[in-house]
Amino acid sequence: MALDDHCRGKDCRQGRTFGVMFFLENVRVIRNDCVGDGLYELECFAPQVAGSGRPGQFVHVEVKPCSSKSVSPLLRRPFSLYGVDAERGTISILYRIRGSGTSILAQTRPEECLSVLGPLGNGFSLPDKESSTLLVGGGMGIAPLVYLADRLASLGCDVNVLYGAETASELVALERLVRTGANCHVATMDGSRGHKGIVTDLLIGTSAGESARISMDEFDQTSTGGFASTARSLFPNTGATGLGRKHDMIYSCGPKEMMAVVAQFAKEQGIPGEVSMEAHMACGVGVCLGCACKLKSDDTGYAKVCSDGPVFPLNQVEFAVREGVR
């Protein structure tokens, strides 16, 4: 199939908002795979975004193809950078079908063209030394943490991941996390894999953490064939729990109730941390004020998730937690 003219690299514009450089790029879809029930991973050739994207940033995607004559849906949809390969010039996003916009996106086929605005927002802070890091993700909040885990591993950091989902079939990022060499522990609400319960149980329960540990052997027995033995030789520390030591930094993304527990844990342990906030967005560049989140100490009391975030210091965000949530 011949590429649309929009995808020949001619149609790419550069801009800046609140000090952050971004591109408006028409990109070619490489694949758009269903990886679970209503869950998709989309990879596209986006060399400008791939060359400048950082963990924690996001892209604002026009979900209908560039060739579409329709004006609906009017608004773009925000997606965290799930993976970036700067050498190949590719980016990937992980998304769940939730409405008409993502339903249209799920119909996108390879070689079609999409309009992408990004990378947007402020990303995670990366350590300047080999550090012990703890990543806590719940549900779709795992998406920005996967790219982060990959970057941290490339810096020589000790990466430990607590990954929670409703059921085992929703742990779609697990293999990708293991491939980074991260020490992975999982929790599912129905107990179908790892610890039965919420992911924050793993912060305080060493026995729960041990039962939730994902070893390379499990991947030998499931879907990755001979990958496990190769990965063990590359990442000999994979499989250690990593929960018995004090970490230098905590990163989190997911439900607000989960992040509130992570914030309390970090405070009690005296560990700095950062959180990636999720919000409905319209413009994606800080103009419409539609994605405000409440801060603890800011004079205005609120910040824009799209431009001030989506990453914030863990101790600055005001989490509204329902009574009875741990």
Work out how many domains the chain is built from and give that number: 2
| CA 290 – CA 125 distance, rounded (Å) | 25
Mean pLDDT of 228-233: 31
Q: Are residues 136 and 258 in the same domain?
A: yes
Q: Are residues 45 and 112 in the same domain?
A: yes
Q: Are residues 136 and 116 in the same domain?
A: no
Determine the pLDDT at residue 300: 62
Q: Are residues 236 and 189 in the same domain?
A: yes
The domain boundary residue, chosen from 252, 269, 286: 269
Q: Are residues 222 and 260 in the same domain?
A: yes
Q: Are residues 115 and 207 in the same domain?
A: no
Q: Are residues 258 and 209 in the same domain?
A: yes
Task: Name the pLDDT band for 115 (thresholds 50, 70, 90).
Answer: very high
Would you say 136 and 247 are in contact if contact means Cβ atoms under 8 Å apart?
Answer: no
Determine the pLDDT at residue 210: 53
| Cα 54 versus chain centre, distance | 11
Average pLDDT, the chain: 82
Peptide bond into 255 cis (omega under 30): no
Locus of tokens 């514009």: 13
Tokens of 174: 């697990």
The CATH number linked to 11 is 2.40.30.10
Nearest CA-CA partner of 306 in 61, 24, 57 = 57
Determine the pLDDT at residue 299: 55
Of the listed ranges 64-68, 77-81, 166-170, the least confidently predicted one is 64-68
Mean pLDDT of 13-25: 63
Q: Are residues 236 and 146 in the same domain?
A: yes
Tokens of 88: 């190949």
Amino acid at 90: T
What are 127-166's pLDDT values in tens digits?
Answer: 877 899 999 999 999 999 999 999 999 999 999 999 999 9
Its pTM stands at 0.83
The domain boundary residue, chosen from 52, 85, 120: 120
Mean pLDDT of 169-178: 96
CB atoms within 10 A of CB 102: 18
Q: How far is CA 263 from CA 53, 74, 215, 244, 267, in A?
A: 26, 36, 28, 18, 6
Q: Are residues 136 and 215 in the same domain?
A: yes
Q: Are residues 102 and 144 in the same domain?
A: no
pLDDT at 233 over 80: no
| CA 62 – CA 49 distance, rounded (Å) | 15
Domain that holds residue 52: 5-120
Q: Are residues 96 and 158 in the same domain?
A: no
Name the DSSP letter for residue 141.
Answer: G
Higher pLDDT, 326 or 163: 163
Q: Are residues 139 and 225 in the same domain?
A: yes
Nearest CA-CA partner of 182 in 217, 203, 157 = 157
